[in-house]
Each structure stands twice: as structure tokens, then as C-alpha cells.
Chains A and B, each alone.
Chain A
Amino acid sequence: MSKPRSHGARGWLEVLRVLGPGLITGASDDDPSGIGTYSQAGSQFGFGVLWTAIFTFPLMLAVQEACARIALHTGVGLGTSLRRKFPSWLVGVCIVALFLANTINVGADLGAVAAAGALLTRGHVSAVWLIPPIAVVILLLQYELSYAVIFRLFKFLTIALFAYIATVIVTHPPLLKTIESTVVPHIELNSAFIGIIVAILGTTISPYLFFWQASSEVDEMRSRGLATELSRRGVSRRELKNARVDVLVGMAFSQLVMYSIILTGATVLHAAGKTNIATAAQAAEALQPVAGPFAFVLFSVGIIGTGLLAVPILSGSAAYAVKEFFGMRGSLADKARSRPAFYAILTLALAGGLVISLLGIDPSRRW
């Protein structure tokens, strides 16, 4: 099984080397829409929702591990595997639902990144003016950059999430209360509480993560020179073990960040009576007077970093799922000119999100 480890450092290096699709997928799970959901949960229900971060962890882990394993063994994305096994109308409905959900999610995340950007300029630049340039820059990067550069950039952006762990440290949560509400579940039977539970589950265990995890494993194999489906088929115990470490670290990191955001909402916002938070940017804004400018800047920078990571992953996973369903070729590793259909779907998802976020923002309000 595992080699004898004479030095701890070597073990850690080994772990860092296998990190890839799992870490990136886990980080993209804490997108601005997720941050908004966790902030709302923490600010509205205080410590009462902290347990969800722990209890959803094994569920999320099992789901993402299954997606990774199916992709590694079959050598194709989830869309292709599903289409081969199930009736195409059924898979078609799922893919359409995924595409719509992702497009709406892109809209929410673009809006949140722009709102956070506007907050950081102290309202000198209105969010509406930031949305189109952000969308265009993301699209250009997806068109132009090579696979290796895009994924290095993604890994780099996961660092933004440490901002939320840092926010917890600067806001000093009460230790005993935190521990107690972490392990003892609390449930209320009213539509507000159930709504937040559905939202927490949905943003933690989201369809785009299933498809991204799978397509990403396939891209990773392709980048190692396994160009055909036949050459990618089958998975060794060792590859499976590495993928499990990757998924485990990614999901644990994802849940730690989720936990930190709920905890910040509970410690700072709920305690200060700010219980009507609906978006990530509102949470950042509300933090400032209570927790100080440092917490505010950390929180806002985190929104921008994770938004820049999540938007291309959302539009990307929609494009992967659709092209897999139709049996087309194409991936982010390919040049846009050689795969026009794939990049057209990608652009459509992003453009749809752009329209939604522009319609969703009230232009009269300056942040």
C-alpha cells in the first residue's frame, strides 16, 4: 500500500502533487452564490445551521468520488456515460436543467463579483459597469489560454478562499457555543428554515460539480497524452487512490470554507441583529461597521477570487455536458477555432448569465 515515510515533508509533497480536479471542483463549490447562501444562513439562523457543514460533508464526498471514479474508469465525461445507459429524453431533460441552472448561477456570480468590486471602490464605480468587462475578460481567457495555463490559474484562485478562514480568526467566535452547535443538529419546521436547508444542500451538492469533476478527470488524462477514449478506459488502484486523496482534500477544504462563512455570519452579523442578508456583497457590506475594514476587505476579495473561478467552471461544465450529450468533441484544451460548437455553447451560457445579471441589478442603486 503506502510507502514508508521517513520524512513528513515528502508525504505532503506527494499530496500536493495529486491535487487537481478535486481541489478545483471543491473550491468552485464556494462560489459567490454559495457565499451568499451561507452568509444568509448564518446571519438569519445564527449558530443553528452550523451543523450542516459537517453533516453534508460525507454526502458531498461520496457524490464527487463517484463522479471522479466513473470518469476515470470509462474515460469519458458524465454526459456521455449517462447518454449511453439511460433513455436520451431523460438525460436530455437533465442536461437542459443543468444548462439553465448553470446560466442562472453564472448570472448570480457575475453580479456578485461586480457588486464586491463596486464595494471595494467605495461606490465610485457602479456594479452595472463592471459586469460586462468581467464577463468579456473571462470569456477571452477561456478562448485564448491553453489547458495548462487555465488550470494553473484555477489552482491559484483557490487561494482566495483562505480569506474566509482568515475572517473567522479576526472575528473571534465564542468557542464553546461553536463546538456545541457544530455537532448537535438543529431543525425548525417552517418554510424559511427549510428553504435555507434546501439552498445549503443545493449549493453544496450542485449538478455543475458532478459534471465538472468528471470532465476535468478526462481532461487531466488527455493532458497526459491519452488522446483516445480506448486509451483512457480502465483505472488502476493507484490512480483511484490518488483521485480519492484529491477529492477528499478538495471537499474538506470546500466544507471548511463553508463552515467559516456560516460561522462569520453567526458570530458577527446575527449577533449584531443584521439578519436580512441575501447576497455575498450585502454580507461584506454589513461586516464592515461591526467587524472592521480588514474583515470587509478579506470578505470582498474572496468573493471576487471565487467568482472568477466559478464563472468559467459553470459555463464550462454546461458546455462539456451539452457536447457530451450530443457526442461532439471539444474541451477547454482545444483551440476555439477548431471546436466552434463547443465554444459557442460556452459563450451562450456566459452571455445568458450576463443578461440575467444585468437584469437582476437595480441600476438606480449605487453600492
Chain B
Amino acid sequence: VITAIINGIVAPPMLALIALLGRDRRVMGRRTSGRLSTTLLWITTGVMTIAALALLVTTVFPG
């Protein structure tokens, strides 16, 4: 489970980079991410960031 939490903390910054990469016309040409895909990627990044921060806050200030 500690392994899983580490993955949960490492993933969000990489997701942000992947979202930026997939939308870049110079990299992807005509195959850039669609709006739905990009939105879902940013939601994932957001949700995982919030969850990781919430864990930090509830661990530092229990109750």
C-alpha cells in the first residue's frame, strides 16, 4: 500500500506533462488530443493532486 501511495504522489506531475504533450501541434500534428481526452487528463491530474494534498493535510493535522 505504501508503494501505491508513492505511485499516487509521483503520477500527477507526469500526467500534466503528458496532457501538455498530447495537445502540442508541433509534436502531434493532426493527431492532437481531442477536447474530451484533454479534459479527462486534466481532471485526472486535478483529482490525484487534490487527493495527495488532502492526505498530506489529514496526516499532518489529524482530526
Binding site for B on A (CB under 8 A): 33-34, 36-37, 40, 58-63, 65-67, 69-70, 73-74, 78, 81-82, 84-86, 90-91, 94, 97-98, 100-101, 104-105, 107-108, 189-191, 194-203, 205-208, 210, 234-235, 240, 278
Contacts and interface: CB of A to CB of B under 8 A. Distances in A.
Q: Which of A58, A104, A107, A205 has the most CB of B within 10 A?
A: A205
B42 to A, nearest CB: 10
A101 B6 contact: yes
Shortest Cβ-Cβ A-B pairs, 10 listed: A202-B8, A62-B40, A202-B7, A191-B58, A199-B4, A203-B4, A59-B44, A198-B8, A206-B7, A108-B3
A65 B37 contact: yes
Nearest to A86: B17
Given A59-B40, A194-B51, A235 B31 contact: yes
A98 B10 contact: yes
Contacts of A208: 7
Contacts of B28: 69-70, 73-74
State the majority secondary structure of interface residues on A. Answer: helix
10 contacts: A36-B1, A66-B41, A69-B31, A91-B17, A105-B3, A194-B51, A199-B5, A201-B11, A201-B47, A206-B11
B31 A63 contact: no
Interface residues of B, number: 41
Nearest to B58: A191
B14 A202 contact: no
B22 A66 contact: yes
A201 B17 contact: no
A74 B17 CA distance: 16
A87 to B, nearest CB: 11
Given A73-B31, A196-B1, A201-B8, 6 more contacts: A37-B4, A63-B18, A66-B19, A69-B31, A191-B58, A199-B1
Given A36-B1, A201-B47, A66 B18 contact: yes
Interface of B: 1-11, 13-15, 17-22, 24, 27-29, 31, 33, 36-37, 40-41, 43-44, 47-48, 51-52, 54-55, 58-59, 62
Given A85-B21, A194-B58, A202-B11, A62 B44 contact: yes
A205 B58 contact: no
Nearest to B23: A66
A200 B9 CA distance: 12
B5 to A, nearest CB: 5
A107 B6 CA distance: 13
B51 A197 contact: yes
B22 to A, nearest CB: 5
A205 B11 contact: yes
A36 B7 CA distance: 14
A240 B51 contact: no
B48 A205 contact: yes
B43 A66 contact: no
B33 A69 contact: yes
A131 to B, nearest CB: 16
Contact of B18 (A78, A100, A194, A195): A78
A67 to B, nearest CB: 7
Contact of A199 (B8, B29, B47, B62): B8
B8 A94 contact: no
A205 B10 CA distance: 10
B14 A98 contact: yes
A94 B13 contact: yes
Contact of B7 (A85, A91, A105, A189): A105
Contacts of A191: 55, 58-59, 62
Nearest to B18: A66
